[in-house]
Structure 1
Amino acid sequence: MSYKLAIASHSLGRAAVHDLANKLDQAVKYGYEGVEIFFEDLELIAKSYLGGFTPENQLRAASCIKELCESRSLTIIALQPFLFYEGLLNDDQHQLKIEKLKLWFKLVKVLNTDIIQIPSNFSLDEPFSGDKGKIVKDLVEVAELGLKETPVVRFGYEGMAWSPYVSSWEEVWEMVELVDRPNFGCVLDTFHIAAKVWADPTSPTGKRNTADEDLKTSLENMKKTIDISKIYYIQIADAEFMDPPIGDSHPWVAAPNHPPKMTWSRNGRLFAFEDGGYLPVLDITKAFLHDLGYEGWVSLELFSRSMAEYGERVPEEHAKRGRVSWEKLVIALSQKE
């Protein structure tokens, strides 16, 4: 089996705090071959140009990022995240998203990538529907628009563990099958799968009551169900055990309507095999790589309060942590064969 290791640009530090060029330098230093470009990095560069955040400056920023990556022999594997799209009840808001997507088509061409990642909708501001027909219709719309592009633009749909309607890999896969377009696939993430079926950051145990049994069943079903040609890339991350559990008074809670798993995800992720992590990352990664036989891009995606720390050291620390984590994971996987 062969894998190509990537890292998400935000995993190396927040755009508002850390320079993208330095982040990419550290990715190269620690042996990553690719990078997911987080839109926040592109946005910050665009806003630095005269005139601010215009479509023209976004394209100019994309060109800058492409040059930064090409000069370092880094492949851009995707632009993400295209947020809060499917199921919107307001037609005007839906049309604004379609117009934004048309600009994103231009951005990915400039970036020399062909994947736009769409997280399942979890908007706290715009009302959206859980009607399956509506969700599928909206996803078909973007897929068909992507098919008209040259080259074709692909969409990697990813389930957010706290999304009210599409949160599990099973629900994501159902959408992939119902959309049924050659350029519409999925992104699978160890954190979101574990957070959905196994973990509970609001519990003193950190786990659901039937966690182990449910995960085993879910991964067995995954092996029987998913077509690996529809997995566009995978993401790997662990997370901190919450002590105390996340509740309304937890210092990480930004607003009372924030789902606990979202709060946890944004502040407490770790790379696999780091101290404090406890999710069954090894079992889930084994299901991806050994049981399904996936070969392709493996991306390390971290969201953590450590990303916002100041200092040039932060991107290097994160890049190194990710590389050490990956090497430990490879050894552990070889021992499970």
Structure 2
Amino acid sequence: MTPINFGSLQRIPLSYASCSIGCRPSDSLPRKLEAISKAGFISIELSFPDIIDHGTHLLGHPVAPENYAELITASREIRKLCDANGLTVMMLQPFANFEGWAKGSMDRQDAFARANGWMEIMKVVGTDLLQVGATDTPADKISTERDTIVADLRELADMLAKRKFRLAYENWCWSTHAPGWKEVWDIVDAVDRPNVGLCLDTFQTSGSEWGDPTTASGLIEDVSPEELRKRFDASMEELARVVPADKIYLLQISDAYKVSPPLEDKTIGGLRARGRWSHDYRPMPYDGGYLPIEDVARAVLKTGFRGWFSMEIFDAGPQGKGKKYEMEEFAKKAMENMQKLLRSCATDCD
């Protein structure tokens, strides 16, 4: 496994997800991009809801998520805003609930129609990378058979390849069929396409194998804390040993609050408990979280990966009820804490 020398970490390009900043209606996309740029980030993950919101502001009426003509108009303006702020678009996200639909179904037709529309947006904003989250559609509505999942993603990969685009597949810790890094890696390995890799995430990985928002301890409680630590350490060692660096396209960075009182262990508003946890309880590193996110980052770096680190946080405060802040100060702190994470991961830093 590759040593983690601090000098090598200085080459890592740093991105910020556009959906991860802003806490009031006046925090528009142009102001978000300005704050992200001033903090020293060089690229963004462009969030689809931000395109819709900017299009609504730009055109003066609500923009439907399937109105690609208007979304592309908005995307052209977003590309100009990024250029003006010295930012590129590293990735378009989050493309969800694509795989597993029954052949011939309207849901499957919609999934492929969405894929084509999103690829048009990718072309306009100048990114070659599409994030695909492992579906969280209930298992009674889709197939979770591995062969079906792999076949669907191969088809999407081949569509993307025609445009020289790539697919970054991410485990969501509440996913129906692939909540952990091992599951998404097995799928990516089976898809076996040169333009398909992983979107790994410190929260999603530690949130699927270590944390649990439905317990008082905040930990998975089917084993003792000692056994949990042993099991998690073994998983991180396996990640570092098994996953090739060139099959990792980015690492998203965030932590999580320990929820008190714990979340109810049921689906509310269409989201499982871990989905709700992900949606509102994810601070930046060193800002109140408790997950072993440094361990995840070190495991990824031990593969030799030195690609994108991207801040993706959803911080509505420890109670998930909202948090007020000024965007420029928040983005500056995010950069400081990103640098602290990198220093903490290095094996040659005190």
| TM score, norm. by length of structure 1 | 0.91
Match of 1:301 in 2: 312
Counterparts in 2 of 1:24 and 1:121: CA distance versus 1, 3 Å: same
Which of residues 41, 47, 64 is equivalent to 1:38? 47
Distance 1:125 1:14 in 2: 34
- Is the 8 Å Cα contact of residues 154 and 184 (structure 1) preserved in structure 2? yes
* 3-state SS in 1 of match to 2:144: coil
Distance 2:314 2:122 in 1: 23
* 3-state SS in 2 of match to 1:239: coil
What do you get for the CA RMSD once the two structures are aligned?
A: 2.3
* 3-state SS in 2 of match to 1:7: strand
Distance 2:270 2:76 in 1: 38
Distance 2:347 2:147 in 1: 44
Would you say 1:108 and 2:119 are equivalent positions? Answer: no
Match of 1:182 in 2: 194
Distance 2:140 2:165 in 1: 26
Would you say 1:147 and 2:161 are equivalent positions? Answer: yes
Distance 2:116 2:296 in 1: 35
Q: Which runs of 5+ in 1 are unaligned?
A: none
- Is the 8 Å Cα contact of residues 203 and 253 (structure 2) preserved in structure 1? yes
- Is the 8 Å Cα contact of residues 15 and 40 (structure 1) preserved in structure 2? no
Match of 1:243 in 2: 260
Match of 1:75 in 2: 88
Match of 2:147 in 1: 133
Match of 2:234 in 1: 217
Decide which moves more: 236-245 or 105-114.
Answer: 236-245
Match of 1:64 in 2: 77
- Is the 8 Å Cα contact of residues 23 and 323 (structure 2) preserved in structure 1? no
The correspondence of residues 163-202 of structure 1 with structure 2, limited to 5 A, is 163-202=175-214
Distance 2:111 2:211 in 1: 33
Equivalent AA in structure 2 for residue 143 of structure 1 = A
- Is the 8 Å Cα contact of residues 202 and 245 (structure 1) preserved in structure 2? yes
Q: In the TM superposition, what is the alpha-carbon distance from 1:16 to its structure 2 partner? A: 5.6
- Is the 8 Å Cα contact of residues 132 and 169 (structure 2) preserved in structure 1? yes
* 3-state SS in 2 of match to 1:65: helix
Match of 1:318 in 2: 330
Distance 2:26 2:278 in 1: 20
Equivalent AA in structure 2 for residue 232 of structure 1 = Y
Counterparts in 2 of 1:288 and 1:181: CA distance versus 1, 3 Å: same
* 3-state SS in 2 of match to 1:331: helix
Distance 1:189 1:5 in 2: 14
Match of 2:31 in 1: 22
Q: Deviations over 1:185-229 (max 9, x none)?
A: 110000010011111121121112332111111111112211111
Match of 1:232 in 2: 249
Distance 1:88 1:308 in 2: 35
Equivalent AA in structure 1 for residue 125 of structure 2 = L
Distance 1:332 1:282 in 2: 7
- Is the 8 Å Cα contact of residues 315 and 323 (structure 2) preserved in structure 1? no
* 3-state SS in 1 of match to 2:346: helix
Distance 2:158 2:23 in 1: 33
Counterparts in 2 of 1:75 and 1:259: CA distance versus 1, 3 Å: same
Counterparts in 2 of 1:219 and 1:97: CA distance versus 1, 3 Å: same
Structure 1 outlier segments of 4+, above 6 Å: none
Which of residues 205, 222, 242 is equivalent to 2:217? 205
Match of 2:293 in 1: 281
Q: Deviations over 1:13-44 (max 9, x none)?
A: 26965200100111111111111001000011
Distance 1:287 1:45 in 2: 37
* 3-state SS in 1 of match to 2:92: strand
Distance 1:267 1:130 in 2: 27
Would you say 1:161 and 2:178 are equivalent positions? Answer: no
Q: In the TM superposition, what is the alpha-carbon distance from 1:106 to its structure 2 partner? A: 1.1
Distance 2:270 2:23 in 1: 24
Match of 2:271 in 1: 258
